[in-house]
Amino acid sequence: MKVLSVKAHSREYEIVIEKDFSHLGEKVKGVFHGKLLAVYDQNTHPLFADEIKKELSHVELLEFILPAGEETKSIQNYAKLLSFLAENGFTRKDGILAVGGGVIGDLCGFVASTYMRGIAYLACPTTLLSCVDSSVGGKTAVNLAEGKNLVGAFYAPSLVYVSLSSLSTLPQREVECGFGEIVKYAFLDREVSEGDIKRGITEEIILKCLNIKKRFVENDEFDKGERAKLNLGHTFGHAVESLSYYNYSHGLCVAKGIDKIIDISCKYYGYGEDKREQFKGLLSSVDFALSIDYSRQDLLDKIKIDKKAESGAVSLVLIKEIGNTEVVKMPLDKLEELI
């Protein structure tokens, strides 16, 4: 078992990485003694519910199953979960356990942050993306018809428990989602190398990514500075994701976004072909189709309506060197020149 301790400003908590759920019981006991609502989606319930029930036999455990998919992260499901907790007599001593990817995690975290002004939130992330990114750091949210993640809170989990066995049967799209974020970490910090990425899903790469994420969260839990660097590739990534009507996976779009940022960074810092090739070489370790099929104008139009485009400028994370990035407030007319 590997354990990382996140010393965030709001709470200190452990991330446990284990081959299966066999230590979940003892870890839950270590942080909390109330009853627990385990929330699954229709994919994770058949895979993990029996094992989790067995490991948590000492806990009064209730279950709630939601449909899989982004639409689940809604105000309606948020309200349903709150009512379920109230109907079943949950109090401030009790907690909620999210078993799933980012959708279930974000929704449950937000429910936990607001039910009775805050109950314990525990996470068992079961996708690569949620293991290396969304389960850590306390960003919780639901979507509105007007946009994704428009309602939410910073609310740190009390425990994150990663069972590596849950990553062994992921569909290709989920693997792609995770590796888009993993290659992002490789640009943010040299701790993750091209060789690590080429070895695929290993405990080592998950630990390295989590260590990087932990440092960002400890330094800037409430996203007022450094943490913005975790958005590397996301400005163009979100534009492509939306232009593709979400047919492309998030990870693929992030990688396409990083490819665009490499070109922009090289122009912005006046780098030559050697540097561009070095950056592109690292990005090619994920072996994704990186070209963007949308016009420069379509991308700019999407970016302009993105929440990051404020007063005629957009915050972009540029790559100075591998392991050294910079947040630059770039006027939109300058961006138009560079893309």
Interface with ligand GLY by CB under 6 A: which residues? 133-134, 137, 139, 223, 227, 230
Cβ closer to ligand GLY: 45 or 139? 139
CB of 61 to ligand GLY, least distance (A): 29
Cβ closer to ligand GLY: 100 or 137? 137
Cβ closer to ligand GLY: 161 or 185? 185
Cβ closer to ligand GLY: 52 or 132? 132
Cβ closer to ligand GLY: 6 or 230? 230
Burial of 297 (0-12, 13-18, 19+ CB in 10 A): exposed
Cβ closer to ligand GLY: 74 or 149? 149
CB of 285 to ligand GLY, least distance (A): 21
Tokens of 87: 């109907």
Cβ closer to ligand GLY: 133 or 189? 133
CB of 227 to ligand GLY, least distance (A): 5
Q: Which residue is nearest to ligand GLY (CB)?
A: 230
Q: What is the 3-state secondary structure (H, E, C) of the chain?
A: CEEEEEECCCCEEEEEEECCCCCHHHHHHHHCCCCEEEEEECCHHHHHHHHHHHHCCCCCEEEEEECCCHHHCEHHHHHHHHHHHHHCCCCCCCEEEEEECHHHHHHHHHHHHHHHHCCEEEEEECCHHHHHHHCCCCEEEEEECCEEEEEEEECCCCEEEEEHHHHCCCCHHHHHHHHHHHHHHHHHCCCCCHHHHHCCCCHHHHHHHHHHHHHHHHHCCCCCCHHHHHHCCHHHHHHHHHHCCCCCCHHHHHHHHHHHHHHHHHHHHCCCHHHHHHHHHHHHHHCCCCCCCCCHHHHHHHHHHCCCEECCEEEEEEEEECCEEEEEEEEHHHHHHHC
CB of 178 to ligand GLY, least distance (A): 13
CB of 306 to ligand GLY, least distance (A): 15
CB of 174 to ligand GLY, least distance (A): 16
Cβ closer to ligand GLY: 6 or 38? 6
CB of 221 to ligand GLY, least distance (A): 10
CB of 222 to ligand GLY, least distance (A): 10
Angle between helices 172-188 and 273-283 (to 10 degrees): 140
